[in-house]
C-alpha cells in the first residue's frame, strides 16, 4: 500500500487548492480513505473521510469549504479546498485502511494504518 500526496502550496486567504492522493498496491474501492492535517505543536486532526460506500464525513472546521472525492477507477483521492483561512495551514496527509471499523470512525487517525508522507499547505 502506497499513498503519495500532491497539490500543496502557498495561497492567500480566500484562495483555493486541490490536493490529490495517488494510491497503489491495493484495491481502494473497498477502503476507507481520509485526509488529515497536522499543524506544528498540534495533534493530527481529521479533515474529511470517505468510506467504501461513498459515505462522507467532514471536520467541523472545514464543512462547507472542503470537498472530498474518490475515483475508484484511478485509485485517487482528492480534496478540494476553497475559502482557505490561515488556520488551515498544516501538513496534510492522506490515509487509507480496508473498510471495517473505520466506516464508523472516518475522522479518527487510529482508524487508519496506511499513511502518505504529506503535502504542506500554507495560507497567509
The predicted-structure confidence for 31-78, as pLDDT tens digits, reads as follows 999 999 999 999 999 999 999 999 999 999 999 999 999 998 899 999
Query: Rounded to 5, what percent of the chain is helix, strand, coil?
Result: 10, 50, 40
Tens digit of pLDDT for each residue in 79-106?
Answer: 999 999 999 999 999 999 998 888 889 9
Cβ 57 vs Cβ 111: under 8 Å: no
Provide the pLDDT for residue 105.
93
pLDDT band at 27 (very low <50, low <70, confident <90, very high): confident
Provide the pLDDT for residue 91.
98
* Alpha-carbon gap, residue 10 to 80, rounded angstroms: 15
Residues near 8 by beta carbon (within 8 Å), at least 6 away in sequence: 17, 19, 92, 119, 120, 121
Provide the pLDDT for residue 106.
95
Amino acid at each position: 500500500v502506497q499513498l503519495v500526496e500532491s497539490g500543496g502550496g502557498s495561497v492567500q486567504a480566500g484562495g483555493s487548492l486541490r490536493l490529490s492522493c495517488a494510491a497503489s498496491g491495493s484495491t481502494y474501492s473497498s477502503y476507507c480513505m481520509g485526509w488529515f492535517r497536522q499543524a506544528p505543536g498540534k495533534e493530527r486532526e481529521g479533515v474529511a473521510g470517505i468510506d467504501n460506500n461513498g459515505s462522507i464525513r467532514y471536520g467541523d472546521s472545514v464543512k462547507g469549504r472542503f470537498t472530498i472525492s474518490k475515483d475508484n477507477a484511478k485509485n485517487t483521492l482528492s480534496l478540494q479546498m476553497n475559502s482557505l483561512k490561515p488556520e488551515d495551514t498544516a501538513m496534510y496527509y492522506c490515509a487509507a485502511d480496508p473498510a471495517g471499523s473505520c466506516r464508523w470512525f472516518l475522522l479518527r487517525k487510529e482508524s487508519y494504518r496506511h499513511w502518505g508522507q504529506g503535502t504542506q499547505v500554507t495560507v497567509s
